[in-house]
Amino acid sequence: MCGIAGLMYRKSSQDFKTGEALIRMLDGCQHRGPDSTGFALYSPEPSGRLKLRFFIDSMVEPTVESSIATIRKRLIELGASIEDESHAWDNYNVTIHYDGDVQKLSYGLEQTAKVISIGTSLEIVKDVGSAYDVDDRYHVNKFHGTHGLGHVRLATESDVKPEAAHPFWATGFADVAIVHNGQITNYWKMRRRLEQRGFVFTTDNDSELIAVYLADKLANGAQLQDALSTSIDDLDGTFSFLVSTEDEIGYAKDRLAAKPMIMYEDDDLVAIASEEVSLNRLFPGRALNTHEPAPGTYATWSRSI
């Protein structure tokens, strides 16, 4: 059992307290996943700049410095110029100028470091512990942006460690992230098909598979709503998932609808979560007009530009 959450502010401003809102939403459903918590946060960068986040070992100080130096060296070898960088806990964050292919950059880095996310807008922050634990380490509450996703995880098939936490980004594709509650039963069949076409996976997690599957559809010209529609037919299992791109969020539910999802929508905001308590955390004391998406459905929303 896990909990998912997502929201989008529909106005064009980037000054919404997205991090603070997602913390409240995830705290509301933390009972669904006490082991780890993560956030996919969106705030656009100027053209030509990419934001990258890496996991590093912060337990031994020389290891931190050598890991960062190795990443810097590899980025330069791949044709990137470093414009800004910072280090907090187990994360090394760097903003680069890069004109090349993001997939080549991503695959070129995988042998050097554990990449958390790459994007012009996207930053993924995730770690073990609760929403407030992760906020204490990485100051998620200070993040202002346009939209984002969140996830609380109960470990069932893998270790409790930061790398196993959600969200997952679509490895090799900028700005696509996923949070997922459920299990994809044809995971290996779908993965082998994508690997035969040259795609690389860095985990055995079915959420990464969904992200790459959708990102591949988008890269080949599909609209997000069309990619979500085909996912309901192509993916076997029980699932409710949220996906985000640079300008959109969307959801899909399998036809059995065993995994819960509830949503609220008004002129300014779209918010979706596993349980209504997460939505109530956004509007304390208000009676919300919420509804549960029907089985086998999907939808997308985009922000005003």
DSSP annotation of 217: H
Q: Does residue 168 sit in helix, strand or coil?
A: strand
Taking Cα atoms as reference points, which of 247, 263, 246 lies closest to residue 298? 263
Taking Cα atoms as reference points, which of 256, 254, 261, 242 lies closest to residue 301? 242
In tens digits, the chain (305 residues) has pLDDT values of 789 999 999 876 667 899 999 999 999 999 998 889 999 999 877 677 999 999 987 655 567 888 899 999 999 999 999 999 999 888 999 999 999 999 999 999 988 889 999 999 999 999 999 999 999 999 999 999 999 999 998 766 667 778 888 999 999 999 999 999 999 999 999 999 999 999 999 989 999 999 999 999 999 999 999 999 999 999 999 999 999 999 999 999 999 988 999 999 998 899 999 999 999 999 998 889 999 999 999 999 998 65
| pTM for the whole structure | 0.93
Active-site residue list: 2
Q: What does residue 50 show for φ and ψ, rounded to 5 degrees?
A: -125, 140
Q: Does residue 142 sit in helix, strand or coil?
A: helix
> Is 179 in contact with 150 (CB distance < 8 Å)?
yes
Q: Does residue 158 sit in helix, strand or coil?
A: coil
> Given this model, what pLDDT does residue 64 score?
83
> Is 251 in contact with 206 (CB distance < 8 Å)?
no
Strands 114-119 and 298-302, by their bridges, are unpaired
DSSP annotation of 292: P
Taking Cα atoms as reference points, which of 93, 6, 85 lies closest to residue 41? 6
> Is 298 in contact with 252 (CB distance < 8 Å)?
yes
Taking Cα atoms as reference points, which of 257, 278, 279, 277 lies closest to residue 266? 279
> Given this model, what pLDDT does residue 120 score?
94
Ordered structural domains, the chain, with CATH: 3-44+121-299 (3.60.20.10)
Q: What does residue 124 show for φ and ψ, rounded to 5 degrees?
A: -105, 130
> Given this model, what pLDDT does residue 58 score?
61
